[in-house]
Amino acid sequence: MKNKEYTLITGASSGIGKALAFRCAARQMNLVLVALPCTGLRETAEEISEKYGTDVKIYEADLTENSIAERIHTWCEEEKIQIKYLINNAGMGYAAAFETVKMNFFNTMMKLNMNAVVAMTHAFIPDLKKISGAGILNVSSMASMLPIPNKSVYAASKSFVLSFSRAMYQELKSYNIHVSCLCPGAVPTSEQVKERMRNGGWIHKLFSSKAMTVAEKAVSRFLKAKPLIIPNYADNIVFQISKLIPANIRIALMGRIMGFNKSK
Ligand SMILES: NC(=O)c1ccc[n+]([C@@H]2O[C@H](COP(=O)([O-])OP(=O)(O)OC[C@H]3O[C@@H](n4cnc5c(N)ncnc54)[C@H](OP(=O)(O)O)[C@@H]3O)[C@@H](O)[C@H]2O)c1
């Protein structure tokens, strides 16, 4: 009989989310892909389905809308889709001095990076509890590890995701639901990151990874129930060393390494 359990991935139309979809399908997982309308989600679903022979459904929606998590959940119930793994990947970032960014942008970013993660988790936990070995993978960032000048709200939103994931790991483990938090460094998905890598020299290359590499490591370690996933070796070393350095020095150093310590 065909496996009717699904992995739901938000932000699956591009970047890390799309790569996660490919790596999950390569493990014969059926998928529900969520992203904004008209972003090529259907084409991605067809490509994956053709390549791996798994069932791939799509749900086009803006995750910053109120009650959208409940609507996605209701749709899954109606379609008899049983979610075993929930991957909260959709997110957005920026790199600019705080006061130069419009408040509307921050509101949207906070809704997507934090509210949507909480709402999707809240909506699907009752279902995950019914399946043995279910799991949640939240996509945070290395930016979650410390405040980053000129990425202040983004870094804070990703700290939220990391903190939330760690707490949920403890809360849900007695239900046999594992929660992992993925913390990638730079991944050349947007023009912004690509440009930084082009101009940043070897240090930026050392701290960056391809989306497919990140996704493969993420899925593999998520299925092993690792609570914290840092896919890039250089990031991991810096993370371990940074624990020994006082916070104010770490923040100044990080700003310098990332090239974000100056606002102009
Ligand atoms: N790239 C990096 O360097 C990096 C590093 C660390 C962590 N991360 C995190 O990794 C995750 C993915 O990043 P990425 O670089 O792969 O981003 P990306 O290429 O911009 O993809 C973001 C995905 O989220 C979707 N999305 C955006 N706004 C949405 C909304 N309101 N409702 C529903 N879906 C929405 C996008 O859909 P559309 O195609 O419809 O816009 C797209 O599928 C994010 O959480 C990001 O913070 C990225």
Give the pLDDT confidence of 56-92 residue by residue, as tens digits: 999 999 999 999 999 999 999 999 999 999 999 999 9
The residue type of 54 is T
Query: Parallel, antiparallel, or unpaired for β 228-229 and 178-182?
Result: parallel
pTM over 0.75: yes
Does the Cβ of 188 fall within 6 Å of ligand 1? no
Left (φ > 0), alpha (ψ -120 to 50) or beta: where does 150 sit?
Answer: left
- C-alpha angle with apex 103: 148 to 150, nearest 5 degrees? 20
- How close is the Cα of 113 to the center of ligand 1, in Å? 9
Q: Which of 8, 16, 182 to mutate to test the pocket of ligand 1 (most atoms within 8 A of CB)?
A: 16
Q: Which two tokens stand for residue 46?
A: 């067809």
Q: How many CB atoms lie within 10 A of CB 264?
A: 4
Does the Cβ of 218 fall within 6 Å of ligand 1? no
Percent of the chain scoring above 70 in pLDDT: 96
String of b and e for 57-88 (b: at least 16 CB within 10 Å)? bbbebebbeeebbeebbeebeeeebbbbbbbb
199-252 per-position pLDDT tens digit = 777 777 888 899 999 999 999 999 999 999 999 999 999 889 888 989 888 888
Is position 154 annotated as part of the catalytic site? yes
Decide: 110 and 157 in contact? Cβ < 8 Å: yes
Q: Is the pLDDT at 144 greater than 60, yes or no?
A: yes
Residue minimizing CA distance to atom 25 of ligand 1:
11
DSSP bridge partners of 186:
208
- How close is the Cα of 93 to the center of ligand 1, in Å? 8
Does the Cβ of 63 fall within 6 Å of ligand 1? yes
94-133 per-position pLDDT tens digit = 989 999 999 999 999 999 999 999 999 999 999 999 999 9
- How close is the Cα of 45 to the center of ligand 1, in Å? 17
Say how far apart CA 171 and CA 105 lie, in whole Å: 32
Selecting among 154, 169, 175, 233, the annotated active-site residue is: 154
Decide: 28 and 1 in contact? Cβ < 8 Å: no
The pLDDT of residue 108: 98
Hey, what domains does the chain have and what are their CATH numbers? 5-258 (3.40.50.720)
Q: Which of 20, 36, 160 to mutate to test the pocket of ligand 1 (most atoms within 8 A of CB)?
A: 36
To the nearest whole number, what is the mean pLDDT of the chain? 92
The pLDDT of residue 146: 86
Longest distance between any two alpha carbons in the chain, whole Å: 60
* Residue 1 confidence class, pLDDT cut points 50, 70, 90: very low
Decide: 72 and 59 in contact? Cβ < 8 Å: yes
Query: What one-character DSSP code corresponds to residue 59?
Result: E
The pLDDT of residue 263: 41
Does the Cβ of 13 fall within 6 Å of ligand 1? yes
Decide: 156 and 143 in contact? Cβ < 8 Å: no
Residue among 90, 209, 208, 210 nearest 139 (CA): 90
- Whole-number CA gyration radius for the chain: 18
Residues 6+ apart with CB under 8 A from 93: 109, 141, 143, 151, 154
Does the Cβ of 115 fall within 6 Å of ligand 1? no
Q: Which of 13, 48, 146 to mutate to test the pocket of ligand 1 (most atoms within 8 A of CB)?
A: 13
Say how far apart CA 214 and CA 233 lie, in whole Å: 11
Residue minimizing CA distance to atom 34 of ligand 1:
35
172-198 per-position pLDDT tens digit = 999 999 999 999 999 999 887 788 777
